[in-house]
Amino acid sequence: MVITLIGYRASGKSSLAPMVAKKLGWSWIDSDREIERVAGRSIPEIFAADGEAGFRELESQILVDLLQRPQLVIASGGGSVLSADNRQVMKAAGPVVWLHVSAGILINRLNRDRKTGSVRPSLTGRPIDEEVGEVLQQREPLYRDAASLIIHTDGESRGTLARRIVNSLQDRIPTAHPGEPE
């Protein structure tokens, strides 16, 4: 089984995935870092060379591979839900948790993050406050479609959020004994 964390960039997927995994005794992975590892290039370099379409194709291939691993928490890329196939395979692999964050908080996080320009390429070429609103409007229905659990994160600590996720999924997570298949 795989638990996939979805949400807009800067929603906390990469910081919550290791915390959730630790509480479960599972592994975790950041799909964007895995894409960079497999490609041997950074995400901005992939966007520059192959365009968004090339990046999305690689993202889907990596995601399909990750979703086949046992007892894994995935911090997925913010746009991984753009593909209906991705949403379907995520749901088939296990619970999909949407980290819902208000636009204002996302804008503040992205403006404070020094990596935003170098690691997170602009999706529209517009100022971050305009981009967040525009992209969220497009993606929120897709996040909702993919999600089996929605966690509203505004004003919550990471520790509280990790506990809420694990507690909310407790009845869906198989309790395999060490050495037994899931």
Residue 81 inside a domain? The answer is: yes
Q: Is residue 182 part of a domain?
A: no
Tens place of pLDDT for every residue, the chain, 182 residues?
A: 999 999 999 999 999 999 999 999 999 999 999 999 999 999 989 999 999 999 999 999 999 999 999 999 999 999 999 999 999 999 999 999 999 999 999 999 888 876 555 455 566 677 788 889 999 999 999 999 999 999 999 999 999 999 999 999 988 887 543 443 44
Contacting residues for 29 by C-beta, under 8 A, at least 6 apart? 17, 66, 72, 73, 74, 75
Helix (H) or strand (E) holding 29: strand 27-30
Mean per-residue pLDDT of the chain: 90
Range(s) of the domain holding residue 121: 2-172
pLDDT in tens, 147-178: 999 999 999 999 999 999 999 998 888 754 34
Looking up residue 99, the CATH number of its domain turns out to be: 3.40.50.300
Indicate the residue type of 20: V
**What is the per-residue burial (b if ≥16 Cβ within 10 Å, else e) of 140-177?**
bebbeebbbbbbebeeeeeeebbebbbeebeeebeeee
At 6, which amino acid appears? I
* 63 in a structural domain: yes
Number of domains into which the chain is organized:
1
CA 111, 115, 120, 124 torsion-angle sign:
positive
Whether 179 is in a domain gets the answer no
